[in-house]
Amino acid sequence: MGEQELIKEAFEELLTVLRKDTTEEEKQRIRQAFEFANEAHKGIKRRSGEPYILHPIAVARIAAKEIGLGTKSVIAALLHDVVEDTDYTLEEIGEIFGAKIASLVDGLTKIREIMGGDTSLQAESFRKMILTLADDVRVILIKIADRLHNMRTLASMPEHKQVKIASETLYIFAPLAHRMGLHAIKTELEDLSLKYEHPEEYKVIAQKIEAYHREYTGLFDKFIAPIRESLDKNGYEYTITARTKSVYSVWYKMQRRNISFDEIYDLLAVRIVFKPTPSQPEKWQCWNIYSLITDLYSPNPERLRDWVSVPKANGYEALHLTVMGPSGQWFEVQIRSERMDEIAEKGLAAHWKYKAENGEGNSELDNWLAGIKELLEQPNSNALAFLDEFKLNLYAKEIRVFTPRGHMKTLPKGATALDFAYDIHTEIGNTCIGAKVNHKLVAMSHKLQSGDQVEILTSEKQHPQEEWFDFVITAKARSHIDDYFKKNRREAIKRGERIFEKIVKDLKLSLTAELMRKILTALKLQNKEELYLKLCLGTITQEELAKELKKRMENWFAKYWRLQFFKNEREEREKEEYKDEENADVVISSCCNPIPGDDVVGMDIEGKVQIHKRKCPEAIRLLASYGNKIVPIAWENYHITSFVAVILVRGIDRMGVVNEITKIISGEVGINMKMIHFETKDGIFEGVIQLCVHNTRDVNSLITKISGVKGVENTMRG
């Protein structure tokens, strides 16, 4: 098939997935936009070798079919790369397609300019990108569609870019899709990110899930047969489907709980989607189906989730219950109406469609968007902190609490009375001294529960305290507290800087950038402003600083590393920057303690190369925020030195088991122990062993041998 035939076929497929209410006139405008974009991108190819126009068509298809957006969004998706990649201007697009289309294209163009040509998502760039929410949230939805297609075609990119793009996708775009209610897209983004970041683990888990699904198909049929009979008897129109957990959700649960695949018991879930009858409210019908199911199977009351009475902030509505199946296995059952199911799959667009049809007012999602806009208005210089707090609030579970007058407020689970105070008004938060929860006096750090009625107590003499950061969890509260301290912090930093300069002068040292980097690393500080502030406050004494300055320690790890760079468009610049690789300032990150043989990644942050395990949560965060500073690492010459590793051992206690384990370590394997600690309780022992090893082979060999000791049930690296 020729290129033009391929392009024409892709566009005709797009027309078939447009919303049913799309008029012929709107289809003609979409065709006009396609012809305009096709001409503009003529002769341009993607990395895969395909005509470039296939990408905008694919993005438009995702926007229409998988998100449910309308004509303006489809046109904007078709045109989203025209201004950036061709000679056409925004004014020309406005003249042809109208001001609103031009505005959407402008927003998408600005996002791409902010993110840079290599699509690396920096923290400050993301903050600016979210500002487009204030103009039109459809820009973000189209951007999510754009990212989804890029992830689906990521195989054509070089490996180092695959890792970088996958990291930022997992860190920001998947949570953003979750908050926008795009469950299916969020799940696919997570799975694709895992596929490129940890391909072997992805492959193994995917195969196990497929095998599990085949094995339990008969059990599923046996489980739903009585449910079908009951629903039919009660006159319901419905569909029942089985779904297994996504690869990423299984992997994440295994990592978070440190368990094996076989220890995950909620792999299979049943979804019932019913067509509601006009005679009864949807909520009543959901609970009626719940009643029919619990007449057949015993429910687990701890696993009931009622998002029908109070929907999630992203608009999600459903009733979830967990029941014991006929063969003694737990099954999760999700009950949704057709409307609820469309909102669950298409998220924000479907939510707004139904809201408009029913003439409803502000929703929880609208309130969340309003809160984000308010947060963005705060002058926050720490863009990375904003990014972390924003991501935290994307995934937060919610509680509902009430003002003394009965107005409901939605807050993240774990929010305190002080978070509630800041949610009402900045000044109320700044002057909060406590609260009355359900008419009982509590501290401002008191964690709220759904259904609480909260009255905030204030005093004009009160002002924010540093310890408030320890218990507030909302980005809004942290931002306002931080703003208060910024005003007082500047003078303290200036005084601390003068103290630092005097100490350096007294020691007759030359104040260089290299010296500052060494001191910050030694004191485990992020930047010089933090150093100056701690000096002024006395958290770091002048004697401590003078001692560190005298040491002028060289980072002895550096000589055991060799930094190797992928060849790319920045090769020459990187070669020049790292031509003295043997003396590069390399830091072994204490958060994950990588040792030779581990799968690692390096990040060039402020002149220091930080080394993390690739799975390390901090590495994932940094990859998403500083994706263009990846330094691929290779291990060399590591047999000259030792690294610290920790092994955790658990098993059934018996006489001599510890002696056998220590003999294996010091005798058979010949590894030095730095520390060993064992505890026994109720016949079960748990041990922590700290060792000096050369590489992961040493650790893996030792784990294998210890696992063979009688009574040892579990041995793993800590």
Which residues are designated catalytic? 84-85
Burial label for 455, CB within 10 Å (0-12, 13-18, 19+), is middle
Rounded to whole angstroms, the Cα distance separating 619 from 217 reads 39
Rounded to whole angstroms, the Cα distance separating 81 from 104 reads 12
Q: Is 246 within 8 Å of 187 (Cβ atoms)? A: yes
| CB-based contacts of 263, cutoff 8 Å, min separation 6 | 257
Tokens of 144: 């999510």
Reduced to 3 states (helix: H, G, I; strand: E, B; else coil), residue 637 is: coil
Rounded to whole angstroms, the Cα distance separating 396 from 391 reads 9
Pairing of strands 432-437, 319-324: unpaired
Identity of the amino acid at 109: T
- 337 bridge partner residues: 274
How many Cα atoms within 13 Å fall on the side-chain side of residue 523? 28
For 487-508, b where at least 16 C-beta lie within 10 A, e where not — what string? eeeeebbeebbebbeeebeeee
Q: Is 254 within 8 Å of 264 (Cβ atoms)? A: yes
The three state secondary structure string of 642-711 is CEEEEEEEEEECCCCHHHHHHHHHHHHHCCEEEEEEEEEECCEEEEEEEEEECCHHHHHHHHHHHHCCCC
DSSP 66: I
Strands (E), 145-282: 237-244, 268-275
How many Cα atoms within 13 Å fall on the side-chain side of residue 22? 23
CA distances from 84 to 35, 100, 111 (A): 17, 18, 11
Tokens of 613: 């395990």
Sign of CA dihedral 638, 644, 649, 655: positive
Other C-beta atoms lying within 10 Å of the C-beta of residue 75: 27
Burial label for 155, CB within 10 Å (0-12, 13-18, 19+), is exposed
